[in-house]
Amino acid sequence: MLKEFKEFLARGNVVDLAVAVIIGAAFGKIVTSLVEGIIMPPIGLLLGKVDFSSLFLVLDHSKGAPASLADAKAKGIPVVAYGAFINDIVNFAIVAFVIFIIIKAVNSRRNKEAPTTRDCPHCLTAIPFAATRCAACCAELNAA
Q: Which residues pair with 36 in a beta bridge?
A: none
Structural domains in the chain plus CATH codes: 2-113 (1.10.1200.120), 115-144 (no CATH)
* Residue 25 confidence (pLDDT): 86
Residue 62: CB atoms within 10 A of its CB come to 5
Give the chain's mean pLDDT: 81
* Residue 75 confidence (pLDDT): 86
* Residue 64 confidence (pLDDT): 78
* Mean pLDDT score, 89-109: 81
Tell me phi and psi for residue 81, to 5 degrees. -90, 75
Q: Is the pLDDT of residue 143 over 70?
A: no
pLDDT-based confidence at residue 47 (cuts at 50, 70, 90):
confident
* Mean pLDDT score, 60-80: 84
Measure the CA dihedral 116/119/124/126, to 10°.
Answer: -10
* Cβ atoms 88, 39 nearer than 8 A: no
Q: Is the pLDDT of residue 115 over 80?
A: no
